[in-house]
Structure 1
Amino acid sequence: MANAKQVLDIRVSKGITVAQSNEHLRSRSARAEEYAMSKGNYDPTRERLNFEIVNRGKVRPVDKSRSIPERMADILSRRGIKDPNEGLVEPKYRTVVNIIFGGSRKRMHELAFGTQQVDFEKGADNTRIKRKSDIERWAKDVYTFVSDRYGEENIAAFVVHLDELNPHVHCTLLPIRDGKFAYKEIFAGKDKFEYSQRMKQLHTDFFAEVNTKWGMSRGRSVAETGARHRTTEEYRRMLSEECTTIEENIDRHQKVLSDLQSDIRLAERRVKGLSSMVENLQREKAEKEAQLAALENDMNTRKGDALAISAEKEKLEKELSAIGEKLADKQGKLQVADRQLSDLKENMDAVQERTEELKEEAYRYSRDVHSKVDSLLKDAMVENMVDEWRDLSARMKPSERQMFDGTLVRSVAERGSEVLHCATLLFLGMVDNATTFAETHGGGGGGSDLKWGRDEDEDNRAWALRCMRMANRMMRPAIGKKAKR
């Protein structure tokens, strides 16, 4: 458990769709379930292990009878609070905070399954697996943490999934304070810096109040710890878990999109069929009305047999009444079908937008991973240069060492971090800061005939190289001084 880390991820939205609710509650159609199984991220034989927490920490099976939007509507109605997005063509207020709580895969498996061997292969049968009490106790602690911090009355759903690769909690929270929605006040703060501080504090508090007793560490960002302090295997595992989470989210949203597309096609066919029925009935009604009008005209002008006309008129009136009933029924069904189709298309747009956001997140993540690996390799390269230089320098003759005097190779090998820091300041245009840094760290050889300042057509790479060369000169000890170690 030494390397077990907690997981806390927050996603804010302007509401939650029925499709998203179906995913959280596992209220899927047979086709959606088949799709989920095909992607390998969902095990139907473990769905029975899922549970939710309600009413001061009571554990119960997931209630699929009421969607999360319906639960939210009940909460708002009961408390007399209006959804600010109600009636808007395009929602613009952040009314839902989705929080995922979890931890490192191995630790979460221990909490959920103990020492039982779960088969995570596609199509595996895990009906023999039983849910352990530790996962319920941990989830109750998380529920208490959220309740104490944001109010139990604001929790619309708190579902624990044990049927995916990594057990986790999905908490749907309404950011309400003093009877009104207040996302910015509760979560965001006045700017991105305050938001960042609040999120860091949330991680710290979550660790202190919940996960410290469950053997999980708070964990810190790469910026705080430095990725180079991880072992290769730890770093590889961290990247793999983060990548898997993003891929699972994309797969889940693409699955929902596929289901919605199928539902939309069915709804469109239903609307088309009902529209045809309504048109046929309206045409039939118009024809019957015309016939009835002609009969009434014959009666008024006493044309033809009055008894026969009266009997025909009575027959037409009955037929018209039956057509009217059918027409009203089909028109009502058409209105419902139109509304359902509109809702499905709105859900489709929302899920599609979120899917694109996730794809962009995956792209940014990919670039970030490459940047982190690049930094790791550069760190390793500099450290290796230092070690090799010390070894080679010790075996060199004085005349051989003199060959490297003033070179960037020797400077980086002997004082790599200081030269790089000075070069960074120069690259950013902070010449005064670079000079002060060099002088306070034993430098003094900054006098140079090098042209200084960035050329208009100079690319980043060329500019960075000149900054390194200048930093090398600036970090040379002044005459009569020795370099500080």
Structure 2
Amino acid sequence: MTTDRKQAMHVEAGKSFSTAEANENERRWNEDKIDKKNQDPTNHYDKTRMKLNFEIGPDGKIHPLGYQEKPLEVRLQERLDALGWKPFKPDSKIQPNCCAKFIFGGNHDRTLAMAFGNQTVSLEKDADNSHLHRCEEVEHWAKDVYDWCVRRYGQENIVGFQVHLDESSPHIHALIVPVGVRPKSGRECVMWSAKFGKDRFEYGRILKEMHTSLYEDVGSKYGLERGDSIDGRNVQHLHKREYIRKLTKEAKQTEKAVKGLQSMMRHLESKIFSYSRQLEDAEKELASGRITLDRYEVQKADIQKLIAEYQTKLEDKADKLNEKEQELERLTMDATKARSVVQPFRNHKVDFTPPRITEKVPLFGTDKWVERQNRHIAKQFTEIIRKIESLYRNDAARQVEAAQHNTLADYGEFYRLKRENQSLSEINQELESELNTLLDQLSVPSIRNLIFTVADALVGGQPVPISSGGGGNSDLDLRWDGRRPDEEEEAYRRRCLLHASRVAKSVKSGYRRR
């Protein structure tokens, strides 16, 4: 089976960056926090390898992980403030993207070799890897990835660049602020579309180019092949059910390929057998004198050529079948592990001395002697059984804990999707209500003229004080923050029109009150 040695690059659009995320990237944890994290069966943080983690600072040099005094989330906010970043109102159900969360990695065996060379690494939980030292190759790889990010996004926009060597596979976390230039003002601002496209189609094209560029500038130097592009926006890790569905689909396709190759091989074997029979028949005809030697040699050469061709094809199909069978076995095992909510029992090795008779048989009183020896052996045997029971009871408790955690995770995912669906439904209802209101307003000439007047003024950047008329406190001005840093022209015009509709609605209600 061919080894998949591809580079890996995941990009996720971030609307915010929490302290918990920052602490994980910089490993600002104590011992208790690490142990608590490792209670999750899917986590594997090796405390004995954490000293090998490092980061590349703003100076482009290697430093110990978490060496900067200011936490990662604070540095991000400072960069956003310097760019004049203004998020939407806190109570808004949607927020713009303010950062890009990158994860760089690659083939498991290749990245481990870059990090630790020929040293023996144990990936078992609670293993002692304190003997390991960090190899220079992983530092060179990280620097090359950092330089690639600098060329694309600017050094001042790389807020964090952490390299983790304490998990299953070495990888890099990079937190980057996407910055663009406003066409009218020429001012730098936070602008996701400037670096990752205005829609998912443009994002897909950019992502493909990023994979190619990363391979040409970095991956090819370290024996990593070009990674696979994933079209679409906000690429994230698959949830458990999506991952199982993906594995099942791939397994079915691989199983179909296996059956196809087996059918081809049977056909080729049939052809080889048929031509072998023809060669035997020609030999019999030669022996009986029904054909001449020259005719036999010609037939023999033709048949042997065909047999050799089919044999080559058969060997090629056999190699491909072997690859597909191994791939199918791997996919089946991965799917089984993903479905399992428990951890497998460990194969415990229990050291004990077998029960044995230690006294000689007396000449008299053998019955009491046998009874005493039986009690002694029974005690030893019971101690051994109790020890084994204790080991597997602990394993069973671990399984129950894993199952409970998995159930809670599934419930958490369900609850998150439920809340997301409710939020989207509410947003949809609000938009539908606003659209209906706007259509009603546009049917009235006076209100329609007011809406277009206000909308044109807002698009042009002019203040629009609207009053319902009369005396007293009748000012109905609505708050307007102007154009947002990362807002396209068309989206801004739509928002101006909706705001003008709200202004017209306020004016109309003001007249009703009078």
Q: Normalising by structure 1, report the TM-score.
A: 0.50
Where is the helix percentage greater, Structure 1 or Structure 2? 1
User: Under a length normalisation based on structure 2, what TM-score does the superposition of the two structures give?
Assistant: 0.47
